[in-house]
């Protein structure tokens, strides 16, 4: 397993707090923000053991100035690392998030990556489930741990249950493929 994905397993658990009565409702559909799609592709030149995309999937409607109201099932991706010191990111100028240029996030300087993403979106962690993904997307290139988000929904467990892992992987795969096909069609 990559150093990036292992980082989510080492994040400290927050102080015990109330948990939801059960898992979130299944989203009716999924989508990925366009900047998240672009952020994912900036990983192609990054060291795969060091850099990955920190991922959130909304499980409630989320409203931001940038995205408006995003329905449950919206995927957000932002490059990040657990390395300290963080090596240079090869395409840092190409990274945007929440409609603004955004440096890749670094756990050693500002805490757990999912916390940083929730802060950038201005929303509480209970609105999301968290995961991590490497480039290129594969079954072994995903991690499903988040002390920040998943413990609230899954009875204190940081790892998504297998059915949610499959759902997140399929949602990410289909949305990345769909946008890639649209980009090819636009260029033709």
Per-residue pLDDT of the chain (188 residues; tens, 9 = 90+): 788 999 999 898 776 678 899 999 999 999 999 999 999 999 999 988 899 999 999 999 999 999 999 999 999 999 999 998 888 998 888 899 999 999 999 998 888 999 999 999 999 999 999 999 999 999 899 999 999 999 999 999 999 999 999 999 999 999 999 988 887 788 77
pLDDT at 154: 95
pLDDT at 183: 74
* Separation between Cα atoms, residue 54 and residue 62, nearest integer Å: 18
pLDDT at 116: 95
| pTM for the full predicted model | 0.94
* Separation between Cα atoms, residue 119 and residue 34, nearest integer Å: 19
pLDDT at 18: 83
- CB-based contact 117:54 (threshold 8 Å): yes
């Amino acid at each position: 397993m990559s150093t990036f994905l292992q980082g989510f397993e080492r994040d400290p658990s927050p102080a015990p707090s109330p948990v939801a009565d059960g898992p979130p409702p299944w989203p009716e559909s999924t989508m990925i923000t366009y900047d998240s799609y672009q952020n994912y592709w900036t990983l192609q030149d990054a060291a795969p053991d060091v850099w990955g995309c920190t991922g959130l999937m909304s499980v409630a409607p989320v409203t931001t100035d940038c995205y408006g109201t995003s329905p449950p099932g919206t995927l957000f991706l932002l490059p990040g690392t657990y390395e300290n010191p963080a090596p240079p990111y090869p395409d840092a100028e190409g990274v945007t998030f929440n409609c603004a240029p955004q440096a890749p996030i670094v756990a050693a300087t500002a805490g757990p990556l999912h916390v940083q993403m929730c802060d950038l979106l201005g929303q509480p962690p209970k609105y999301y489930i968290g995961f991590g993904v490497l480039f290129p997307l594969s079954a072994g290139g995903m991690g499903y741990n988040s002390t920040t988000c998943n413990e609230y929904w899954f009875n204190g467990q940081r790892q998504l249950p297998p059915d949610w892992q499959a759902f997140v992987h399929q949602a990410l795969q289909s949305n990345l493929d769909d946008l890639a096909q649209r980009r090819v069609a636009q260029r033709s």
